Amino acid sequence: MLRLDCPVCGLRDHDEFTYLEDGSITYPKLTNENQDDWFDAVYLRENPRGRHVEKWHHTFGCRTVLLVERDTLTHVIGKIKPAHPKIAAALKQPATAKKRS
């Protein structure tokens, strides 16, 4: 069981989450009409053995999309933060009470 420390909900089993995809993918802007750029983002993967930043969605929790650093060989979990920069910033503010359960 991977144990993910959700910045909103606390330490939880990974089966509360939905694995989305490689978090390093940069999707082109919608206005970008270049097929190769889209092909790159949608189809090609670095697929590293080792450090991997990936997107997980806390489906049976706060429904936040998280960027999780994880080693694909050892499954050791590193830093976890919300993918949305504003949510990440809001959680960083000391005034925001962090709820753990």
Partner 1 sequence: MSRYSAWQIVKQGLTGNKSWEPAWRDASPKSSYDVIIIGGGGHGLATAYYLAKNHGITNVAVIEKGWIGGGNAGRNTTIVRSNYFMEGNTEFYEHSLKLWENLSQELNYNVMFSQRGHLNLFFTPGQRDAMIRKYNIMRLNGIDGELLDRDQLMSKVPHLNYSQEARLPILGALYQGRAGTARHDAVNWGYARAASNLGVDIIQNCEVTGFISNGGQLVGVETSRGEIRAEKVGMAVAGSTSLLAHKAGLGRLPIESHKLQAFVSEPIKPFLDSVVVYGVGHGHFYISQSDKGGMVFGGNLDGYNSYAQKGNLPLYTDVASCAMNMMPALGRVKLLRQWAGIMDMSMDGSPFITKTDINGLYLNAGWCYGGFKATPASGWCFAHTIAHDAPHDVNKLLTLDRYKTGHMLDESGHGPYPKSH
Partner 2 sequence: MTGSRFASGGLIDRKKPITFQYDGMRVQGFAGDTIASALMASGHQIVGRSFKYHRPRGINSAGPEESGALFTVGDNANRTPNVKGTIAEIHDGLIVRSQNAFPNVRYDVGAVNGLIAPFLTAGFYYKTFVGPFSGTRFWMMFEYFIRKAAGLGVASRDADPATYDIAHHHCDILVVGAGPSGLWTAVQLAEAGQSVMLVEQDFACGGQLLSRNNARDAAFIAEMQSRLTRAGGRIMVRTTAFGLYDGLVTGLVERVTDHLSAPHESLPREIFHIVRPQQIVLASGALERGLAFGNNDRPGVMLAHAVARYAGRFGVSAGQSCIMATSHDGTYDDALQLAEAGMQICVLDARPCHTDAQEAAKRVGLDILFETVPVQVAGGRGVAGLEVGMCDSDGVVHSDNRMIGADVVGMSGGYSPVVNLLSHRGVKPVWDADIQAFRTGPTTEAIQVVGSADGFYDNEACLASADVAVSHILRPRRRDAETDIFRGWQTPAMPLFEINIQGRSLKSFIDPQHDVTTADIRQAHSEGFVSVEHMKRYTTLGMATDQGRMGNILGLATMAEARNMPIAESGITTFRPPFTPVSIGVLAGRSSGADWWPTRRTPMHDTHLSAGAAMMDAGYWKRAWYYPQNGETMDDAYIREAAIVRQTVGMVDVSTLGKIAIQGPDATEFLNQIYINAFAKLPVGKARYGIMLRDDGHVMDDGTTWRLSDDEYFMTTTTAQAGPVMLFLEELLQTRMTNLEVHVSSVSDYWAGIAVAGPLARQVLTGALPALDWSNDAFPFMGVQSAELNLGGAVIPFRAARISFSGERAWEIYVPADFGNVVWAHLAEHVALAGGSPYGMEALGTLRIEKGHVTGAELDGRVTLEDAGFARMASKTKPYIGSVLRKRPGLMDEARPSLVGIFPKDRSKQFGTGAILCEPGAVSGFGKGWITAVTHSPAFGHWIGLGFVSGGYDAWHDKTVMIADPVRGVTIEGEIVSPHMFDPEGGRQNG
* Cβ count within 10 A of residue 1: 8
Task: Give the total residue count for the chain.
Answer: 101
- Token pair, residue 85, equals 């920069």
- Give 44 or 89: the residue with its C-beta nearer to partner 1: 44
Total residues in contact with partner 1, by rule CB under 8 A: 27
CB-based burial label for 30 (10 Å; 0-12, 13-18, 19+): exposed
Q: Which residues bind partner 2 (CB under 8 A)?
A: 1-3, 13, 18, 20, 27-28, 30-35, 38-39, 41-42, 55, 57, 59, 63-65, 74-75, 77, 82-87
- The rounded distance, in Å, linking the Cα atoms of 42 and 37 is 9
* Least distance from partner 1 to the Cβ atom of residue 34, Å: 12
* Least distance from partner 1 to the Cβ atom of residue 55, Å: 10
- Token pair, residue 10, equals 């606390």
Residues near partner 1, by CB under 8 A: 1-2, 13-15, 19, 21-22, 35-36, 39-40, 42-49, 52, 54, 70, 72-75
